[in-house]
Chains A and B, each alone.
Chain A
């Protein structure tokens, strides 16, 4: 199976959160096929960049997308074809 690129993973994660927001992080992991630890690290990163909002307790619980996250997702989707055609395998 071909390994997914980081950008593709970000698009898939943001897309799922945008549709289901707010959603438990475990469901995002199931829906995107990512290991929970890996997803948690990515969500922390996206949270720091202001793209998603995490409601955290001792463990990650629920995640929702921000306005900046929606705008970035829209731009990523628009650029996806172009980047793929440029051979960047998004």
Chain B
């Protein structure tokens, strides 16, 4: 299971990175700010997945650091992707919500899904779901509920996150 997850996470990191490079090349050719913003966004998503991969490969203490930081990068990526100031204004008060980065990750990727369509909408909805899974895991354990299922829930969430990127990579393979 962990090997499959690692492979999917690595593939998704590569897809995000190549997409970011494609967008950056277009930014250089056309000077469009939109491409630069999206390029930064996908490079942050790629960094998030690389950190997730490192968390799978590291010792327990390091693993936890990589695991939590990976969400920070993914979250930054979603924020850069959101285009309207109104949406950012609506989401920013939620920064103080004590539920943590994954809760915000769920909201921001959910918003990106809402403003997208087709496979991108589905993929970001799955990403949103995976952040929900990640935020619920520790919460359920903290409340003494489903303690044995926490690891499965977290692994399942990561599996979904990597799978979403993999589906995007297959559907939009021409862009890389």
User: Which A residues form the contact surface with B (CB < 8 A)?
Assistant: 6-7, 10, 49, 51, 68, 71-72, 75-76, 78-79, 81-82, 84-88
Contacts and interface: CB of A to CB of B under 8 A. Distances in A.
Chain A, interface SS category: helix
A78 B175 contact: yes
Given A85-B116, A85-B120, A87-B117, A79 B29 contact: no
B129 to A, nearest CB: 19
B35 to A, nearest CB: 9
B78 to A, nearest CB: 12
Contacts, number: 47
B31 interface: yes
30 contacts: A7-B32, A49-B29, A49-B30, A49-B31, A51-B30, A71-B29, A72-B26, A72-B30, A75-B25, A75-B26, A75-B29, A78-B175, A79-B22, A79-B23, A79-B26, A81-B172, A82-B172, A82-B175, A85-B116, A85-B117, A85-B119, A85-B120, A85-B121, A86-B81, A86-B112, A86-B116, A86-B120, A87-B115, A88-B34, A88-B83
